Structure 1
Amino acid sequence: MNFEFDAQTDQMCATIADFARNRLAGPDAFEPDGFRRRWRLVGEQGALGTVVPSAYGGLGQGAVTAAAIMEALGYGCMDTGFVFSLGAHVFACLTPIVEFGTEEQKQRWLPLLCSGKRIAAHCITEPEAGSDALSMRTRAERRGDAYVLNGDKSFTTNSPVADVFIVQTATRPGGGCFGLTSFVVEAGTPGLTVGKRYEKVGLDGSPTADVHFDDCTVPASQMLGPEGGGFGVFRTSMAWERTCLFALYLGTMRRVLETSIAYANERQQFGTAIGGFQAVSHRIVDMAVRLETARLMLYRAAWGLDRGSTDEVAPALAKLAVSEAAVQAGLDAVQIQGGLGVLHGQAETALRDALPARIFSGTNEIQKNNIARALGLGGRSPRSRA
């Protein structure tokens, strides 16, 4: 076992964290032009192409390095919502194209998506199909050399600014895992419309909205993977997202831990720094323990991805551990700062930005169901964790 990054990765992460700290600060209110400007800056740094082969404009790195870069972005950038959008773009959109795209699709989209000149969104969730992805109602009907898409998608990250959409549809309703098919759909395609941007409790810097398809005609050449192969695309994107995207919260937690230590050493009560009070110091120690535990679980899952593991438990465990630790870190930071913690600032922002982590990429309850099933609970045989 080796728990250290190589020197090149360490230097890359330090550079990315410094860049994020100095160049990616977000405005108080979402502004599309500013969002795209910062997005292009990230592309110029190479951070959007971490897992994309160099032949298509990427860095050709694996999951461990990709997670390390996300952690550095989360540590350096105060706009966690913006970093979340970057992660959704890379792991829910680029990785499926890398894994399942035709050569023509890769040549057309990957260089643009790596460079930051284009932004991608992955349309999965629907009003009646969130955790139950196999019940999605968005249909794709074959008509000659094209498919006609009809349906509604909700909670679609990046959709208000997206140039291209990865769209999950049902080509054979009731067909289970073999009834779903994925498409690459360009923004501006007739019949594709994006709704009003959501106002959310957290991750304000990540633009999110509904996406509607009304007789949206897509050439068969834009199908991603084979017909009926959409569930494989979905599983691949979720494995990468539940592992590498969540590394951004490791960076956020590290930053919150450092500011909590600094505050506890500076804040005086009863003639001494509050960091000397056991109730405060133990809370901070617990923050450190949860961070290190979650970090080990996430990088173990990333290590498995790099080795071609099909284990679905490790990403589920990582997502569960990191999201719960991030929420608790926000609560602890607020408590340590007392009255200041409930004012607008880093502590309350960290808490609000962490709350959605329990929901997206499959709720934590769903992760526990998946883990329980793999353990053989409910009368099922335990699954091998290859």
Structure 2
Amino acid sequence: MDFLWSREQDECYAQVLEQTRNMFATRPDRFWTRAQWQQCGDMHLPGLSVPERYGGKGYDALTTARIIEAFGRGCEDMGLVFSLAAHLFACVMPIVEYADEALKNRLLPDLCNGTLIGANAITEEDAGSDVFALTTRATRDGEAYILNGQKSYVSNGPVADLFIVYACTNPSYGYFGITGFVVERDTPGLIIGDPFQKISLTSTPACRVSFESCRVPIANRLAQEGQGAQVFTRSMQWERSCLFAAYLGQMERQLERSITYTKERRQFGKPLGRHQAVAHRLAAMKLRLESARLLLYRACWSFAQGKHAELDIALSKLAVSEAAIMGGLDAIHIHGSLGINSAYGIETMLRDALPSTIFSGTSEMQYDIIARELEL
């Protein structure tokens, strides 16, 4: 078992870490900007796992995750990191793996270079964890489909140039009655709502998206009719494994900041870190980080090798998200009053960690997957 990274992987990590530290050292007042997205495009981040023939870097899941980890460590704005990763794993990769060649050639180069922004539209009022209980309908009409319905929460929605939309084409088929589509922003009948106000990942714009007799050409369908559940499940494997590397980066940054603070801050005549209670809390943060990191690397390796990785990915997603929240609580406790002062950014890391146990499948759903894989 080799735990060493290749020279290229180490160089990519170091380069992205340095660049993102310099470019994204502060958080925006509201949302990230197109200019910042283009900076990510100039670093090739939106297309890390996309084959080179379509304008991407062609990295496997493990290398991609390592670079996303560097992005999460170097960038103070986790909203931007999340938006970029959601774009890549839940929007771009379904096109890579399931669109026809003409659609790939038309869209992927600009999705990789920062010109276009993608969004994933599946969540509905009554289809959250029960994700395939969709009420959005897609009715075949000649060489097109007519979409009607509403998605209740779409990250990147207010600024997206295209959406990966999942709709029911045959309600009686259940899981096999879902189909995925690429819906472009200028499509008549596509209605984009106002941005939500959120307590976490605040710079990620999100909104409702509605479809009113929205006509989508059959050429924009992903895979065959009825294979939408397969498309979505595959995208979640990418997202649950690779996106959560960003939280490893945030936890690394959080731990570094906490250690520095406890060396500089003195109480009762000695550095804060010399007090056993504080030192043990830092040790627990390190233990959770390294444990979650190993689980994530194994999940990405298994996925990249084409193995049945569902168990590894669920374990990884659960460990990383829960560790991110616990680390956020510990960091606030260590920093005391500074920890709850928004000017210092410590409490922000906790708020940004909170949705990690919800998106891409809740912690409860990961426990269900683990139990199923154990044949319980």
CA contact (8 A) 1:26 1:205 kept: no
Q: Residue deviations 1:42-86, cap 9 Å, x none?
A: 111111111111111011110011101100000000000110000
Q: Name the TM-score, length of structure 2 as normaliser.
A: 0.98
Matched residues in 1 for 2:168 and 2:142: separation?
Answer: 17
Look up the match of 1:114: 112
Q: 2:85 aligns with which of 76, 87, 107?
A: 87
CA contact (8 A) 2:318 2:357 kept: yes
SS of the counterpart of 1:134?
coil
SS of the counterpart of 1:174?
helix
CA contact (8 A) 2:194 2:208 kept: yes
Which residues of structure 2 form unaligned runs of 5+?
none
Matched residues in 2 for 1:134 and 1:42: separation?
Answer: 33
Look up the match of 1:189: 187
Q: 2:136 aligns with which of 119, 128, 138?
A: 138
Q: Determine if the alignment matches structure 1 residue 24 to structure 2 residue 4.
A: no
Q: Residue deviations 1:202-228, cap 9 Å, x none?
A: 101111111101110011111011000
Which residues of structure 1 form unaligned runs of 5+?
378-386
Matched residues in 1 for 2:33 and 2:70: separation?
Answer: 19
Q: 1:98 aligns with which of 96, 99, 103?
A: 96
Matched residues in 2 for 1:193 and 1:25: separation?
Answer: 34
Q: Which amino acid aligns with 2:14?
A: A
Q: Determine if the alignment matches structure 1 residue 355 to structure 2 residue 354.
A: yes
Look up the match of 1:382: none
Q: Which amino acid aligns with 2:77?
A: D
Matched residues in 2 for 1:152 and 1:25: separation?
Answer: 37
Root mean square deviation, CA, Å = 1.0
Identity in percent = 50
SS of the counterpart of 2:197?
coil
SS of the counterpart of 1:188?
coil
Matched residues in 1 for 2:327 and 2:367: separation?
Answer: 21
Look up the match of 1:297: 295
SS of the counterpart of 1:130?
coil
Q: Name the TM-score, length of structure 1 as normaliser.
A: 0.96
Matched residues in 2 for 1:346 and 1:64: separation?
Answer: 29
CA contact (8 A) 1:30 1:204 kept: yes
Shift of 1:24: 2.5
Q: Determine if the alignment matches structure 1 residue 70 to structure 2 residue 72.
A: no
Runs of 4+ in 1 over 3 A off after TM superposition: 25-28
Q: How many residues align?
A: 375
Look up the match of 1:384: none
Shift of 1:310: 2.9
Look up the match of 2:35: 37
Q: Residue deviations 1:160-201, cap 9 Å, x none?
A: 100010001100113122110000010011110111111111
Look up the match of 1:247: 245
CA contact (8 A) 1:25 1:78 kept: yes
With over 3 angstroms needed to count, the CA separation of the structure-2 counterparts of 1:375 and 1:185, relative to structure 1, is: same
Matched residues in 1 for 2:374 and 2:339: separation?
Answer: 40
Q: Which amino acid aligns with 1:216?
A: C
Matched residues in 1 for 2:65 and 2:28: separation?
Answer: 27
Look up the match of 2:318: 320
Shift of 1:27: 4.8
Shift of 1:89: 0.4
Shift of 1:26: 5.0
Matched residues in 1 for 2:309 and 2:171: separation?
Answer: 28
Matched residues in 2 for 1:221 and 1:87: separation?
Answer: 26
Look up the match of 1:380: none
CA contact (8 A) 1:148 1:218 kept: yes
Matched residues in 2 for 1:20 and 1:62: separation?
Answer: 21
